[in-house]
Amino acid sequence: MPVTKVLIANRGEIACRVIRTCREMGIPTVAVYSEADRGALHVRMADEAYLIGPAASRESYLLVEKILEACRKSGADAVHPGYGFLSENAEAAAALEAAGITFIGPNIEAIEPMGSKTEARKVAMKAGCPVVPGVQESMADEALIAKAKEIGFPVMIKAAYGGGGKGMRLVHKEADLIPSIERARGEALSSFGNDTVYLEKAIVKPRHIEVQVFGDKHGNHVYLWERECSVQRRHQKVIEEAPSPHVTPEMRRAMGEAALKVAKAVNYVGAGTVEFLADQDRNFYFLEMNTRLQVEHPVTEWITGLDLVKWQILVARGEKLPLAQDQIQLNGWSIECRIYAEDPDKNFMPSPGRITYLRTPASRNVRDDSGVYQGAEVPMFYDPMISKLSTWGPTRPEAIKRMEAALGEYRIGGIRHNVDFHKALMTHEPFLKGELHTGMLDTPFWKKKGVGPRFRHAIAAALFAELEAEERRAQAPVASGGRPDAWRAWGKFNRL
């Protein structure tokens, strides 16, 4: 299939990420943008850019007809969906295919069964991959209650269609089951347009470990080791690392082979992730398969030395996988922190607005996948991610120390952010020991006792005044020397 001009049907850091690889491969790129993203970084970076609608994603980024129209206008013969939006939409992939446009994503035959978690469980079971005890099919509430009693509490109610922690409820006792089912159904319907839920046995202090898989159109499949994503808040990943501190070489091989069984069962093509829950005894169970490139793919790129977006493009062209399983290296350790425009002091509420100052870390073995710049606007309409900061080290402690240093260099002005939250995590004793589980953030250990909000605001106002004065001084000719007092003050402000 031809891939000579790529349209990226996405925005933010992933659009910028795809553009960079295409540029290295000599492939022209096309950006699409909503009215809220007119000044976005991905629009500036691409060779061409086309407006596709209002700010609301359902009227812009989620409309495949708008993407097709932009392809026709630009002459793009391939579409990279990134993640989110249309990346796991089988109908969108089919529409692009019908128009003769290469979809740089998995085959439709894999997207469809893996789009339903209950169907995916059936595929995994048939392929011989271990699954969490539970219910595969949709059931009435009474039947779910009976099944929950049979399995034993605690149980987890989950939306059959969807992800990101939406439509999920942990239930510890029978009295809470029906209210939890009703809330899960309501959230699933509003988020995914389908209120089907299913039930699984809840694993106590589970670890969320996933395996990166790749397939080509010639029947070749490989796995690129595992990532640990157990540090989560409201079922959404916060920190990822590769490899996992919980996984032994024997477990790594077993998980990789189990993941390939699932991928081969649907003749998987392209990049995908098979996700598992693991207990403290290193038993692991199939959770779901994400038929797309994952947000956290940089940590896999760090430890393998590979460009996964390049692999996606090569596979979409019909080429064979560049490496066989025994040629894939595992080198060192990588940590990734998701930097968000959000306020940790207000239950991590999004903090949209203009970034008035931005200084990102720049050091050896530090990578910042970003979709913003100083002066850019973080819109209120989309995920408030600023960047994905990742580091690499020969060992886990070295990767963590490098991350701690990199976070210390990060400066963001104009909006609230979670940099200090990540700093606290990098020194949290259970994290340092690798004692991870998906509920470890339920206790807000990162909150420090100190000055109140009014005093904080007074300090912030004084620091901003000092910064403005420093800017005025900087514009005047200076013979020599000078102390950057305002920038030291900014560092203090950034830690408030």
476 Cβ contact list (under 8 Å, min separation 6)? none
Q: How many Å apart are CA 482 and CA 496, to the nearest integer?
A: 26
- Using an 8 Å Cβ cutoff, are 410 and 361 in contact? yes
Report the alpha-carbon distance of residue 313 to residue 80 in Å, rounded: 9
* Structure tokens given for 211: 């395996």
SS3 for the chain is CCCCCEEECCCHHHHHHHHHHHHHCCCCEEEEEEHHHCCCHHHHHCCEEEEEECCCHHHCCCCHHHHHHHHHHHCCCEEECCCCCCCCCHHHHHHHHHCCCEECCCCHHHHHHHCCHHHHHHHHHHHCCCECCECCCCCCHHHHHHHHHHHCCCEEEEECCCCCCCCCEEECCHHHHHHHHHHHHHHHHHHHCCCCEEEEECCCCCEEEEEEEEECCCCCEEEEEEEEEEEEECCEEEEEEECCCCCCHHHHHHHHHHHHHHHHHCCCCEEEEEEEEECCCCCEEEEEEECCCCCCHHHHHHHHCCCHHHHHHHHHCCCCCCCCHHHCCCCCEEEEEEEECEEHHHCCEECCEECCEEECCCCCCEEEEECCCCCCEECCCCCCEEEEEEEEECCHHHHHHHHHHHHHHCEEECCCCCHHHHHHHHCCHHHHCCCCCCCCCCCCCCCCCCCCHHHHHHHHHHHHHHHHHHHHHHHCCCCCCCCCHHHHHHHHHHCC
Q: Can you tell me the distance from the alpha carbon of 155 to that of 171, in angstroms, rounded to the nearest whole number?
A: 5
What residue has token string 């402000």? 493
Annotated catalytic residue within 169, 207, 227, 292: 292
> Is the Cα torsion angle 254, 259, 262, 264 positive or negative in sign?
negative
- Asked whether the CA dihedral 228, 165, 87, 82 is positive or negative, the reply is negative
Residue 121 appears among annotated catalytic residues: no
What is the phi/psi pair of residue 197, to 5°? -125, 160
| Enzyme catalytic residues | 292
